Structure 1
Amino acid sequence: MSAQAGFVKQSTILNDAILQNRASKAGLLERAFSLAFRGLVYPQIWEDPVADMEALDIRPDHHIVTIASGGCNALSYLRANPAKITAVDLNAAHIALNRLKSVAAQQLDSHEDFFRFFGRADHKENLAVYRDRLRPHLDEASRKYWDGRDHFGRRRINGFAKGFYRKGLLGNFIGLVHILGRLGGAKPSLMMAARTREEQIELFERHIGPLFGKKLMRFLCSNPMALFGLGIPPAQYRALAGDRHMADVLCERTRKLACDFPLVDNYFAQQAFGRAYQSAEPGSVPPYLEAASFDWLGERSQKLDIRHQNFIDFLASQDAGSLDRYILLDAQDWMTDQQLNRLWSEIDRTAKPRARVLFRTAAEETLLPGRVTNELLSAWDYDAELSQALTRKDRSAIYGAMHLYRLK
C-alpha cells in the first residue's frame, strides 16, 4: 500500500470511529479532533497496566485483544506469558511505535540499550541504534513513518534523541500545562521534590491546585479543542465534564495523580510533573521497561500481533468462541449506541467461557446499561466491587473509573 493510500485509509477509519455529528458545531469539533488524532497522540499509554493485569487474571492459554495506543500495556501484559496478544489501533503512528518497540525487544542485546531508547528516549546514540539495529527489521510502513518528517520538517525518529515523551499531542499538552503554570506563578516540576505523601499534598496545594482557579486555565478548560492533547474527543469531553466545570474535574483528577500514590512508584506522575521517568526501578516505568523484564521480552514479543485495524472489524474476522480477554481502554466513550451494540455483539460471539472485558470511562458510572441491549448484556456480570477497587489503584488517575465484566 502506498503512503498516500495508507493515509486515505487511516482518514476513513478514524472518521468512521469519531464522527457522530455530521453537520453541526459538534460535527466541526469532531472533524478537528479527527485531524489532530492522525499524528502521534500517546508516546506513553495513559492506563495503568498493573491494575489491568490484576483485573484480567491472564493465563498461559489466553488470546488477548487490546487497543494498542502507545504499546506500554500490550508489552507489559507479556509478563503473564499469554498465548497471544493482538493489539489493534486506528492510528498509524501508534502502530509504527508498537512495531518499533517489538522489533527493539527482539533485536537489542541488553536492557541498557533498550532502556536508553525507550526509557530515556533522549540520546543521540539512539539514532545509530535505529539505523543499524532496528530499521532493517521493520516493516515498510513503519520504516516510512520513522524515516518520514513531521509538520516542522524534522525526522520523526529524531524524537528519540531529543526527548520522545515530550512529543505527540500528549507530550505537547503536558508541556503547555507547565508553561501555563509558570505564567500563573507556579512550577509544576517542583512536585518532584516531594519525598513523603504529606509533602506531595503540600506541594500540590501550593503549586498545582491554584492553577485551576486561574481565569486563563478555566477559559481553556471550557474549550473542548484545548483538551485534544489529552486525546479527549468532543463526545468524551461532555461525559467527563457532566454538569461541572471542566477545570474543577481536571483539578480533582490531577490531585489524585499528584497525591494518592508515592511519586517514586507512579511513573504517570513522574511524566506529568517531571517530564521523564526517574529510574528503571519497578513503579518508575511501565513493567515492560523494568530490567527484570528484558530477559523474557524479546521471546514473548513474538506473540504480539500488531494490526492497523478497527477493533470491531478485527473481532468480526475472528472465529466464534476464540478470545479470552478484551481491553477497550476508553474507546466506548467515543461510540454511538449503534457502534456499542455492534461491538458487544462481536464480543458476545467471539468470547470463550470465563472471558473478561476491561474498559475505562471518563465518567464514574459504566456507560453500558440503557445503551447496549439487555439481550447482549444479560450474558455478562458486572463486578462493581472489584471495579471500584481497581479504580482506586489506577495510578494514571485521569479516568472516572475502571469497569470489569465477566462472561456468565
Structure 2
Amino acid sequence: MTDAVNVSRQLGAAVFQKPAKSLAGLNERLFARLFEGLVYAQIWEDPVADMAALALKPGSDMVCIASGGCNVMSYLTTDPASITAVDLSPAHIALLRLKQAAATHLSQAEFHDLFAHADRPENPALVDRLLPHLDPDSRAYWAGRSMGSQRRRYFARGFYRQGVLGRFIGAVHVVARLARVDFRPLLDAPDMETQRQFYDSAIDPLFDRPLVQFLARQRASLFGLGIPPAQYDKLAGDGAVIDVLRARTRRLVCDFPVRDNYFLWQAFNRGYQNAPDASLPPYLEPGNFAQIASRANRIRAENLSLTDHLATRAERSLDAYTLLDAQDWMTDAQLTALWAQITRTARPSARVLFRTGGTDDILPGRVPTHLLGQWRYDMAASAHAFARDRSAIYGGVHMYRFKG
C-alpha cells in the first residue's frame, strides 16, 4: 500500500460517516481531501493552559496530536522524557519534523526568523539548509510545490497566511475590508476596555451581514477552521452556528489583553506581533530556545491515527495524552477503541486533556462504563484550563485523571 493510499484510508476512517453519494458524504470527502495538505500553520489550542492543567513533571512520557507542531515543541519546556506526536495530515508531520531540525541545526536568531517572523526573504535559504537533515518524506514535501508555488517560499511570504486556516483567515479579512473595517485600532488598543469597544462597534456588526450569515450556514465554509461535518452540529448545539462564532470571537477579542494573546494577533494581523516583547508560543520565546534545541530529539512524529499508534505501545507506559478536538469527529465505536488503548497504556495518575466544539463533555454515555469508570473527570482543572485558553475557539476543555 502506498503512503498516499494509506493516508487516504486513515482520513476516511476518521471522517467518513455518511453515504458517499449524499450531500453530507460529499462534504466529508471534500474535508478529507483538504486535510491531506497543510491545514494549521499554527495550532489553535493554548499550550500554556494545557501545561498548567496537566502539571507535567520532568521525565513524563506523553502522546499528542501534532497539528501545527507548536504545542508539541512547547511541551519540551517541561523536560519530558518523550513526546510522540501523531497526525493524519502528512503536511503536519513534515512541519513538525522541520521544526525539530531547525531547533537542532539553526541558531536562535535563525529559528526565530523562520517561525516567529516567518516572512523574511532569507528564510527559504534556511529551509534549504535543513533539507539534508530531514527524513525523505519531509524533505520531499518542503522541496516540493503546492499549486505551482515552492513550499519553501511560504516562509518568505508569510507562513501563517498559508494552509487551509491561513486562507480562511485571509477570506475573513477580505470580508472585513469590504465592510470598511480596519483591525489596526484593535491591535493598538491600550487596554481591554478599548478592545471591548472596538468589538462592539466594528466586529460584532459583521455577524449581522447577510453574506456572513449565509456563509455560516454552509458546512463547507467552516472547513477552513478545521471543522469537519461531524463537528458542525456539535458546534451549533441547539442554536445557530453564527451565534457560536459571534460569542467565541467576542471572547477572543474581549477576554484577554491584546499584548498577551498571540492567537488574537494571528486572527487580526495574520502573523505574530513584530516587537521585542511580542506574545509568542513558548517554543518561540527566546529564553526557551536552549531547552528546545537540546530536547528536540525527544519528539517522535508519526503519520498515523492516535488509536493505531497507541496499539503499538506497552501497557502502563504513558503519563499524559492531549487529544485536541479529535474526538468530536469520532463515532461511538471509534471512541471506545481509543479509550480502550488509552486505558491500557495509562500509568497511575495519567491525565487526558481534550477540547470540544460544544460545551459539554462528549464521553459519558458513549464510552462504556467499564472503561470510562476507570477515570475521574477533573471539573476544577477543566474549568480552569478553559478559562485560560486564549485561543477562545472551543466550547469546552476537559481533563480526566486515571484512577489506576
User: TM-score per shorter chain, which class?
Assistant: over 0.9
Distance in 2 between the 1:173 and 1:273 partners? 12
Query: Closer, same or farther in 2 for the Cα pair 1:281/1:60, shift >3 Å?
Result: farther
Indicate the residue corresponding to 1:333 in structure 2: 328
Q: Tell me if structure 1 keeps the 8 A contact 2:63–2:318.
A: yes
C-alpha offsets along residues 242-264 of structure 1, whole Å, 9 cap, x if unaligned? 12121111010001001100011
Question: Partner of 1:67 in structure 2?
Answer: 65
> What is residue 159 of structure 1 aligned with on the other side?
154
Tell me, yes or no, if the aligned pair for 1:119 and 1:280 is still in contact at 8 Å: no
Measure the CA separation in 1 of the matches of 2:8 and 2:67.
17
Could you list the per-position Cα deviations for residues 335-390 of structure 1 after superposition, in whole angstroms to 9, with x for gaps in the alignment? 00000000000011110000000000000110000111111110000011221121
Secondary structure of the structure 2 residue equivalent to 1:268: helix
2:363 maps to 368
Aligned mates of 1:121, 1:69 — CA distance in 2: 18
8 A contact 1:321–1:350 mirrored in 2: yes
Runs of 4+ in structure 1 over 2 Å off: 22-25, 187-190, 279-283
Counterpart code for 2:127: Y
What is the letter of the counterpart of residue 7 of structure 1? A
Answer yes or no: is 1:39 the counterpart of 2:34: no
Pick closer, same or farther for the CA change 1:283–1:81 going to 2, 3 Å: farther
CA RMSD of aligned residues (A): 1.2
Give the number of aligned pairs. Answer: 402
Q: Per-residue deviation at 1:190?
A: 3.5
Which residue does the alignment assign to 2:11?
14
Q: Say which SS state the counterpart of residue 366 (structure 2) adopts.
A: coil
Is 1:388 the counterpart of 2:383 in the alignment? Answer: yes
2:133 — aligned with what? Answer: 137
Asked if the contact 2:7–2:36 (Cα under 8 Å) also holds between the matched residues in 1, the reply is: yes
Pair 1:105-2:103 in alignment: yes
SS in 2 for 1:358: strand
Amino acid in the other structure paired with 1:393: R
Tell me, in whole angstroms, the C-alpha distance in 2 between the residues paired with 1:363 and 1:279.
Answer: 34
Structure 1: 5+ residue stretches without partners: none
Q: Distance in 1 between matches of 2:323 and 2:297?
A: 22
Hey, what does 1:219 align to over in structure 2?
Answer: 214
Q: Any stretches of 5+ residues in structure 2 without a counterpart?
A: none
Distance in 1 (alpha carbons) for counterparts of 2:126 and 2:283 = 19
Q: Quote how far apart the aligned CAs of 1:81 are.
A: 0.3
CA contact (8 A) 1:40 1:169 kept: yes
Letter in 2 for 1:235: A
Is the partner of 2:362 in helix, strand or coil?
A: coil
Secondary structure of the 2:80 match is coil
From 350, 359, 362, the equivalent of 2:354 is 359
* Partner of residue 241 from structure 1, selected from 225, 228, 236: 236
Contact 1:280 1:290 in 2 (8 A): no
Aligned equivalent of 2:340, options 333, 339, 345: 345
CA distance in 1, matches of 2:34, 2:304: 18
